[in-house]
Each structure stands twice: as C-alpha cells, then as structure tokens.
Chains A and B, each alone.
Chain A
Amino acid sequence: MNAAKRSLMMGAAPASASDAAIPGAAPPKKKRLPGLTEQGEVTRDLYISCDVVIVGSGAGGATMAAELTDAGMDVVVLEEGSYHPTESFTADSGRALRELYRDAGAQTTIGSPPIIFSEGRCVGGSTVINGGMSWRTPAHILDRWAREESLQKITPKDMERHFEKVEKRISVAYQDPETIGRDARLLEAGAAAFGWKTIPNLRNQLHCAGTNNCAFGCPTGAKRSMLVTNVPRALHRGARLFADCRVDKITRVGKRATGVEGWFVRPDGRRGPKMVVRSTLVVAACGSVQTPALLWRSGFQSPSGQLGRNLTLHPNAKLVAVFDEDVLGWQGVHQAFQVREFMDDGILFTAVNIPPSLVTMGIPHHGSELGELMKDYNRMVVAGCLIEDSTSGHIKMVPGVGPLAFYEVTQKDVERAVRGVALTAEAMFAAGAKRIILPFEGVPDLMGPDDVKQLFRRDIPRSKMELLTVHIMGTCRMSDDRNRGVTSSYGEFHDAAGLFVADASLFPGPVGVNPMESILGLVTRNAEWMIENRRRYNV
C-alpha cells in the first residue's frame, strides 16, 4: 500500500480523470520570474548578503518576503524545492508527488496509529498542493492563545485587518456554483436531511474552473497559492529567490543569527555549489517539522524546553461511499462544503474526490474484490472528517535519519474519529449511498443506516485505524512567557537575536480549521511588527 498517495485523501485535492497530460507532449517552456535563480544556473559557490534571509517559500516564507520587500528591505528567499510554474501542472500524480512533495508525500508519524502526513517541497510550498481552504483562525482560538500565552495584539479584533489584507491578496471567495462537484452536493444534501449546519467553503481562488487538481498543482492558476501571489509579488519588488537550495544551518556569533549556509541540490540529489548568505535577520519558515530541525542543527536551544514540542496535526479519517447512480465526483471542485454541526466537539467533515489510483490504496479490499469495487469508481464519494487534537506530539532529531514526528492519538480522539466517520456515513446514507467502506481495518463495510448504529457502539482499536493529515502545526510555540514559549508574540526566537520563525510551527495549539490563512494572517502581523521595529535591528 502506497502511504504517500493515501496521504492526499483529505485536505488536499486530487486530479480529475479528464485532466491527464497529453502523452508525448513537449514540456511547456517555463515562464521566467525576475529574481529567480535555479540550481542549473549556478556553477560556482555563491556568497551574498542582504537584510533578511528567509528559509522556505510557503505560506509563511513567501508572505514574510512580500511584506518585508514592500517595506524596502533587501530580502533573499531560499527554497529547497524546485520552481514549477502553473503551466507545468498536470494530473500526473506520480510526477507531482515526486516533484512537489517532501519525500514524495510518504511521511508518517511514529505512534499508534501511525498518521500519514504530507508537506509541499517546491516554490510556494504546501500552498501549491493544498486544497485551497481559507479560514480565519476561529475567534475562540485567538482568545485562548492571547489568554494562555500572554500574546499581544492577537485578539480577533486585532487580527481582523490582517486577515482582510490576506484575503484580498489571495482572493478568498466562495466557489462559483457551477464548478461545485456532485459529490459535494450529495454531502450537502445528506447533512441537510439531519438539519446539520453546513457551510460553503471559502477558498483562495479566482473563478476556479473546478479541474479538481489542487493537490497536484493548479493547472489554471485559479488557486491563488503563494506561487502566483506573494512569491511573484516579492520578486517583482526586488526580492531574490534561490530554488533547489537546501539550508544546512543558520550561522551565528554567540546568540546572534548572522545568516545561513547551504547548498544547491542537483536533479539527481547530488550536492551542488555552496550557498552562503550573510544577513541582519534570519527567518525560518520551513514548516513545523523542518523549522525545529534547522534550529537544532544550528545549535539553537530554547530554555523553555518547548522547541519541537506541542506538535498538533488535526488527524483525518476518510470513508468511501458507493451510490447506485453515477456521481462523477472528479467533475467539479472538491470540498465545496464543510459540515460544521459538530465543530464544538472538534469534528468537521467534507467530501473530497480523489483519483482511482489513490482510492485503491486507501481501502481495505484486495484482489478481484478490489477490481470489482473499482468498476464503480464513478459512483463513489470520498468523504473525510477532521479532528481537533486533544493531545500533542513532538519532533525529535534522529541521528542519520533527520527529524521524526512522534504522536500518540488519545482515546478521546479515537472515539471522535469513529464518531466523525459514523456521522459522515449517516449523511452519505441519507444522500442515497448504498455502501460505505470504512478506514478501519477488519471492520466490515456498512450496508445501511442500521449498520452505522453498530459502528457507534463498536470498540475499534486505534492500531486498526487509518489516519492521515496535511495540517502540521506547533513545535515553536509563541508565548511571551519564556517558560512556555519558543518565540515571542511576534515570532522572534526567545533565546537568540535576529532570528524569527514564520510558519505554522508558531501556533500554540490546533486551529481546528484549515491552517493556511492563519499562517498568512499571523505572518502579516509579525512582518508589520518587524517593519515597525526595524531600527532595533538595523535594517
């Protein structure tokens, strides 16, 4: 079973069957972005200096780059992944996994059960391969963070203007109705049968055509990822971006960060020329797994003992509902609606179509039985539920391996996952489904609403659950209390000078919704603070 592919089943969208690449077609010519340098253009070691070097070009890194460049700072962005422009994206899932995902999307947590997770590794980061859900951090979460971590200027009122700015920049809007897939409509109808609260999803898209290729890169550019928003914005205003550049460490003198050192990655993985950047400020924006790893590799420690801790990840569980008639879920955008009736219990669910190759790997059927089942692909709806964590894990550096995520799902979350799946199944049956295939090994398919009641009562061992996620958060918790936090209210590393963090690792806890807009809003706020305090840092 290919774990990498299964990992795409929730929160990130799949390709449509109608959107395949043309066999034998010449690769499209790349558009040239000003200020972009790729590994093929670098033949000797590079030594450069700037005001701010940012490691990572995803939601946090690209937003920080755009904001600081707007303020006139000399910004350099280093991205480990390659540059893949919009016109290069196709429905070739294998290629997309290899080129756009870290470790081809095949990362898992260590714990019971192991949870498959995916991160982007390309210019634009995970925003290139996510589902494009854009939700503000819920007010009660911001209030909790402000209260528990003594964070400044982070109340819903404080954050409103930052979210507004972000939403304009990445075109957050409801999906055009004609592009919504039937799978989403069925979920909506099923939830309506019970009177459950269902909301249309807000997405960072501009008249999305509904090609359903979000997880493999939007081929029309309608998804306003960092690749087509903050990255080009920063570059057109003078920032420099080096793709294919892996950063080994942040250099320092005492506790002052002074730049970074790394190397260009050749296409076959060989080590290319060296990259040395000297800067006044360093921003780590590599995501919740890689940011603590980079800080550890560079010798930074947090006296709070919290670096790498407080990992949360919104465990997801998915099911496959089979209908009697064609659904053609690959037509139209995925996740057009979210059922939020149970959000207070930390459960939300949605429909997300995924291509046949991934469906086969994610269901507990084999051989001819699987073959028969897959004949009904056009009649399938894949739906999944997201659980707001009640616990946290941690990242640990393992010599010779690198950073690994350790996470034990609690009994409470196991029960919520079962409940979430059962509720989703109820909605699917109400919409007309005839059979539900569950993500629990050894549990027979559900053949009708009566079976759902059995599921509610069933004790399912956590080791038999198939969970996945694309929301990795925490590990560099913000807190103005140095005993609790790794960074300050504004992302400045407590125990270093000139070092900032700008990604989801800042979150003090799970946000309970898709985290992209929370990252953008928070980083926009933090960048504003850095600009206001630039004299303090001599930039």
Chain B
Amino acid sequence: MSTASHEYKSLAGRSKEELERIFRAGETPSVEGILGFEYRGYNHPRMMSLLGIRKFIKGFFKSELGETFGCNTPVVQNELDGEWVCKGDDARPKRFGFFRVAPVDPESKDNEYLHSLLLDYGRGGNPIYDPSKVIRDYLVRVEPGSDDLLLGKAYLALGPMRPASNFFLLERHRPMYVEPKITHR
C-alpha cells in the first residue's frame, strides 16, 4: 500500500508540542531495520507545502564502503491521503539531499537527542554549495520495537548554532529497488 496509514495521518494532525513529547519518548531505530527500504515522508509544518517539499520519499542504503547512507526522492505534492508518486521515471528516480546515517555521537556538536539516529547531510557527500548540507535530522521510533513508523526532527547547522526546523514523519513504503552508488566518504 502506498498511502498513509491511520497512525501516520493521526501523527500528522498532532501539534508541535505533542510531537515533541512523542519524540522524546521514542526509541532509537535499528539501522538494519531501515536499511534497503524507502519511507514515505511528510513534513509537519504547513509552510512546507509552499516550498513544494511537504511530501517526499527517503531511502536508506549502504555505500560501497559499508556505511549507511540515505537520500531523498521528490514526489508529487498531492493530499496527505493521496499516494506517494515519484516525480519522473520510477526506474530512474531523481535523488537529492544525501545524508549519512549513524547513532548520535554524544561527543559531537550534533548530539541533541542521544536516543535517536542522526541523518547528517553535512556528511552525505552533497555538492559543496548544496543548501541541504546544513540539515541535521534526528530520527526515532514511534512504536517500541518497530521501524515501520518513525518520527524525525530537523535542525539546521548554521555555524555553531543549531536552530530546530521542523518535525517530519516517515512510514515504511517499499524496498529501495534502485540504490544510488556512493563511493566517497
């Protein structure tokens, strides 16, 4: 099924404060559990619709060096109830906003939530002037023991500052049929 579940839609309707509580109570997702899958994503704030990035797909894969990476795929910006439809050719999807996936390092600057996975766009091998490089996402499970529904919180790395940006939802969508090749670290 490529449409959002009831739980997903229910989360999408929650307030920022409620999502913060859910996020804090969340568990660390298993890297193995998300690897090789695409997730349908939904940015929580309404203003993301204006930017045309409210709906998206995130995929997780391994680089040739064995590290876990992920990337985003643009999708048609239809209603929440609608399907997640890739823009362009599904066999050759457009990919952008690459990130490295790892447990949060307590000693690093990006250590806001120790119980989460960090999606670090600064280490995703994106082009030097790609604005996505400043994004730092933290990801937790919504349901204990399950990697099917995840809640993310995005921050921006602006020098030493780390302002919070927005919450987003991820739900397991389908296997990642076409994995990008990343050979760089």
Contact = CB atoms under 8 A, between A and B. Distances in A.
Interface in B109-123: 109, 111, 114-115
A495 interface: yes
A481 B25 contact: yes
A256 B105 CA distance: 9
B21 interface: yes
Contacts of A256: 106-107
Contacts of B108: 254
Interface in B2-51: 21, 24-25
B25 A253 contact: no
A435 to B, nearest CB: 57
Contacts of B114: 255, 494-497
Contact of A304 (B24, B105, B107): B24
A482 interface: yes
Interface in B53-106: 105-106
Interface in A235-265: 253-256
Contact of B111 (A255, A303, A498): A255
A52 B24 CA distance: 28
Nearest to B108: A254
A483 interface: yes
A254 B107 contact: yes
Task: Categorize the interface residue count of chain A.
Answer: 10 to 19
Interface string A154-169: 0000000000000000
Nearest to A257: B106
A304 B23 CA distance: 12
A495 B25 CA distance: 12
Query: Which of B21, B114, B115 counts the most chain A CB atoms within 10 A?
Result: B114
B115 A497 contact: no
Contact of A254 (B21, B24, B109, B115): B109
B160 to A, nearest CB: 13
B15 to A, nearest CB: 14
Interface in A248-287: 253-256
A485 to B, nearest CB: 10
Contacts of A255: 106-107, 111, 114
Contacts of B109: 254
Contact of B115 (A253, A494, A498): A494
B25 A482 contact: yes
A496 B24 CA distance: 14
B77 to A, nearest CB: 33
B24 A303 contact: yes
A253 B24 contact: no
A303 B111 CA distance: 13
Interface in A481-539: 481-483, 494-498
Given A254-B106, A255-B106, A482 B111 contact: no
A489 to B, nearest CB: 13
A483 B115 CA distance: 13
A482 B106 contact: no
A214 B21 CA distance: 47
9 contacts: A254-B106, A254-B107, A254-B109, A255-B114, A303-B24, A304-B24, A481-B25, A482-B115, A495-B114
Interface of B: 21, 24-25, 105-109, 111, 114-115
Interface of A: 253-256, 303-304, 481-483, 494-498
Given A483-B25, A495-B114, 17 more contacts: A254-B106, A254-B108, A254-B111, A255-B114, A256-B106, A256-B107, A303-B24, A481-B24, A482-B24, A482-B25, A482-B115, A483-B21, A496-B106, A496-B114, A497-B106, A497-B114, A498-B106
Task: Give me the 5 closest cross-chain CB pairs, A-B, nearest first.
Answer: A497-B106, A256-B106, A254-B107, A255-B106, A482-B24
